[in-house]
Structure 1
Amino acid sequence: MTIEINLLPWREQRRLRKTRRFRQSLLLVLLLGLLVGWGIAQYEKSMVRAGQARLALIQRETDALTRDIQEMRNFRQLRERMLKQIDLIGELQSSRPLTIRVLDQLTATLVDGVHYTELNRRGSRLELSGVATSNRQVSDQMRALDNSSAFDIPLLSDVQSAEGPAAAKRFHMSVDEHPVDEAKPGAGS
């Protein structure tokens, strides 16, 4: 007797099981790949967001530093203006006695019959305009200014006279001031 065993259905079932396991493994690997891909994409997105957050922070800090730098420039400009004003005030305060000295010397050296009509100061130079009754008084006035310790040699630039011998003489002269500590040789204080 011969027994015949049909192995085909068993082989078929085994092949179906292997195919099903393969498909399941393939599906599992595909799902695992998708999950890993999604995780990598999420990680990359988070890295991009973190980079953007760092860039935004750097931008904010840069803007703040730019504002601080501008404020420092403004403070420096303000400081420079204030230092110039302090220097100017100091200069004005130190020149106040000089102005008093100049005006005092102008009145002390004023000759009888002469009076000033205009006085302009440009640096250390005085521009004097005035009226005198004679040319001799204009000369005497120039000598008086020259003898003063406050002034240098005066320069007469213009004398105008109206008609007639008794007419007033208009004159214009300039004279430089001496600094306070500089003494004029041969002049009495």
Structure 2
Amino acid sequence: MTIEINLLPWREQRRLRKTRRFKQGLLLVLLLGLLVGWGISQYEKSMVRAGQARLALIQRETDSLTRDIQEMRNFRQLRERMLKQIDLIGELQSSRPLTIHVLDQLTATLVDGVYYTELARKGSRLELSGVAASNRQVSDQMRALDSSPAFDTPLLSDVQSAEGPAAAKRFHLSVDEHLGDDTQAGAGP
């Protein structure tokens, strides 16, 4: 008696189980791959969002610093203008006694019969216009200015006379202020 054992159904079932396990493993690996791919894409998206947030922060900080730099430039320009104004005011304050001294000397040297109609100052040069009764008074006025320690030699530009011998003489002359130590010593504080 021979016993015949048919191993084919058992082998068939084993092959089906292996195929099923392979398909399940393949499906599991595919799902795991998709899950890892989705996780990596989410990670990359979060990295991009974080990078964009950092760039936005850097841009805001850059804009803020640019505004601060512009404000500093504006403050520096304002400071320079204020320093110039302070220097100008200081210069005016320091030249006030000198100006008063010059005006005192102009009045002290004024000859009888002569009066000034216009006075202009251009730097250290005075431009004087006036009226005198005669040419001699214009000459005397120039000599009086020349003898003053506050002025250098005057320069007569022109003399105009109206018709007639008794007509007033209009003159224009310029004279430099003498800014020596003797002028400032007489100017006082």
Same fold, TM exceeding 0.5? yes
Identical residues among aligned pairs (%): 91
In structure 2, what residue type is equivalent to 1:70? Q
Alpha-carbon deviations, 1:136-176, whole Å to 9, x = none?
Answer: 11111000000001111000010111222222111111101
Superposed CA offset, 1:2-25 (max 9, x none):
222111111110110000010011
Report the CA distance between 1:119 and its aligned residue: 1.0
C-alpha contact (below 8 Å) 1:134/1:169 kept by paired residues = yes
Give 3-state SS (helix, strand or coil) of 2:92's partner: helix
Match of 1:187 in 2: none
Normalization by structure 1: what TM-score? 0.93
How many residues end up aligned between the 2 structures?
183
Contact kept? 1:119, 1:126, Cα under 8 Å? yes
**Which residue does 2:136 correspond to in 1?**
136
Structure 2: distance between partners of 1:66 and 1:76: 15
TM normalised by structure 2 equals 0.93
Partner of 1:186: none
Gaps of 5+ in 1: 184-189
Q: What residue in structure 2 maps to residue 115 of structure 1?
A: 115
2:165 aligns with 165
Offset at residue 101 of structure 1 (A): 0.7
Cα distance in structure 2, aligned partners of 1:158 and 1:76: 49
CA–CA distance in 1 between the matches of 2:112 and 2:70?
Answer: 63
Distance (whole Å) between structure 2 residues aligned to residue 129 and residue 30 of structure 1: 108
2:187 maps to which residue?
A: none
Instruction: Give yes or no for contact 1:98–1:180 (8 Å, CA) kept in 2.
Output: no
Paired with 2:66 and 2:136, the residues of 1 have a C-alpha distance of 72
1:87 maps onto 2:87 in alignment: yes
CA contact (8 A) 1:119 1:127 kept: yes
Residues 1-189 of structure 1 correspond to what in structure 2 (within 5 A)? 1-181=1-181
The 4+ residue runs of structure 1 with deviation greater than 4 A are: none
Q: Which amino acid aligns with 1:48?
A: V
Letter in 1 for 2:93: Q
Partner of 2:181, secondary structure, is coil
Q: C-alpha distance in 1, partners of 2:176/2:130?
A: 17
Worse-superposed segment, 138-147 or 155-164? 155-164
- Counterpart of 1:111 in 2: which secondary structure? coil
Greater mean alpha carbon deviation, residues 73-82 or residues 1-10 = 1-10
Q: CA RMSD in A?
A: 1.1
Q: What is the distance in 2 between the residues matched to 1:165 and 1:13?
A: 152
How many angstroms apart in 2 are the aligned matches of 1:86 and 1:106? 29
